[in-house]
Amino acid sequence: MYGVALTDKQTLEYQEREIPKISDNDVLLKVHAIGVCGSDLRIYQNGDSRVEYPRVIGHEIAGEIVEIGKNVQRFSIGDRVTLGAHIPCGECLYCQKNQGHQCVKGETIGYQIDGGFAEYVALPKEFVEYGSIQKISDATSYELASLSEPFSCVLSGLREVGIEAGDTVVVYGAGTIGCMYIAAAKRMGASKIIAVQRSEARQIKAKEIGADIVIDPSKSDTLSIVNEETNGFGADVVIVTAPAASVQKESLEVAKKTGSVLFFAGIKPVQEVPLNTNHIIYKQLKVVGTHGAPRDLHMEAVKWIDEGLIDFSFFVTHTFPLKGTEKAFQTVIRKEGLKCVVKPTEARI
């Protein structure tokens, strides 16, 4: 088979590789679509302590089951599925509480084991038993199904902030994740969505997917616009998808009293952010962070995609053959469009 391995920092090699061999409890998946995630870019650019070279990275995977170990009962050859990213151990405190995304082992597809930028990916026993392998409806394309993993992370954030119909929501950053938040919040009944975004191309995306107001923070003052739009109260929910200290600080100011603030993306490299914690105390804010998603929300994400609850095709702006994986990464680095999806089965066509 062909696969794209990260052989060093910033070095992706398209190479011939062995089709992975599976044991009795494993599953072999033919990868039909794999999305480029922001975290893939960080591994590519800076390396990651969990990733040894050479490694096929990538965890936003949809494909077809082509081989199953003799002990595998829940799946059959030919199943069309999409995957969560985490490999829960199934036994630790977190795994037992439906928090496999916080498993003490912290194993993830495309980090400690080979991921999806390849024609085939092997799913080990723990993943088959405790990870999220969700069947997709016949009408759902693999391309859209590959959005299930990032969208499950969006649903996880929304569950934590407890969004309600009628809420005013501020979303910082209108990349793929920010736009998913805008669309999902709208679908869940938010009455006014304010996006904050510098790049003009992404301002347009935010508008198209449902933002009522788009603020360019290099030209206008976000706090005063949010206040004007909310009769001086501030936003019910503030979602920060742009990993920047200044934005995290400001998010506490634009939230209304008793509002919720979500920090979605981590700041890398690590940086201490001085926050005015009096906002949290006196305004009684709920400030939460989320990372990844538990299995039930991955299941729910697939339901949203199967049922077309929002326009998922909006988010995929570029597709590439497997050979074009490096191009896909460069496209994301240049912040062109939204989600780039690689389609390994079209690799040699």
Binding site for Zn ion (CB under 5 A): 37, 60, 88-89, 92, 95, 103, 150
* Nearer residue to Zn ion within complex by CB, 51 or 89: 89
* Nearer residue to Zn ion within complex by CB, 150 or 210: 150
Whether the CB-CB separation of 329 and 41 falls below 8 Å is answered with yes
* Nearer residue to Zn ion within complex by CB, 20 or 88: 88
Q: Whole-number minimum distance, CB 83 to Zn ion, in Å? A: 11
Burial class (CB in 10 A: 0-12, 13-18, 19+), 249: middle
Q: Whole-number minimum distance, CB 33 to Zn ion, in Å? A: 13
Q: Whole-number minimum distance, CB 329 to Zn ion, in Å? A: 14
The tokens describing 329, both together, are: 């990464």
Distance between CA 73 and CA 105 in Å, rounded? 25
Distance between CA 227 and CA 236 in Å, rounded? 12
Q: Whole-number minimum distance, CB 59 to Zn ion, in Å? A: 6
Q: Whole-number minimum distance, CB 126 to Zn ion, in Å? A: 9
Distance between CA 122 and CA 24 in Å, rounded? 12
* Nearer residue to Zn ion within complex by CB, 43 or 252: 43
Buried b (16+ CB within 10 A) or exposed e, 314-334: bbbebebbbebbbebbebbee
Report the DSSP beta bridge partners of residue 15: 3
Q: Whole-number minimum distance, CB 7 to Zn ion, in Å? A: 22
* Nearer residue to Zn ion within complex by CB, 239 or 285: 239
* Nearer residue to Zn ion within complex by CB, 36 or 255: 36
Beta strand residue intervals within the chain, DSSP E? 2-8, 11-16, 27-35, 60-68, 80-83, 120-123, 133-135, 168-172, 192-196, 213-215, 235-240, 255-263, 286-289, 316-321, 339-343
* Nearer residue to Zn ion within complex by CB, 249 or 291: 291
User: In the block, which residue shows the tokens 């790049």?
Assistant: 199
Measuring CA to CA, which residue among 210, 209, 189, 246 is closest to residue 338?
A: 209
* Nearer residue to Zn ion within complex by CB, 92 or 225: 92
Distance between CA 294 and CA 156 in Å, rounded? 8
Q: How many CA atoms lie within 13 A of 202 on its CB side?
A: 25
* Nearer residue to Zn ion within complex by CB, 37 or 169: 37
Q: Whole-number minimum distance, CB 293 to Zn ion, in Å? A: 10
Measuring CA to CA, which residue among 334, 336, 304, 318 is closest to residue 154?
A: 304
Secondary element (H or E) of residue 43: helix 38-46
Specify the amino acid at residue 48: D
Q: Whole-number minimum distance, CB 60 to Zn ion, in Å? A: 5
Q: Whole-number minimum distance, CB 341 to Zn ion, in Å? A: 12
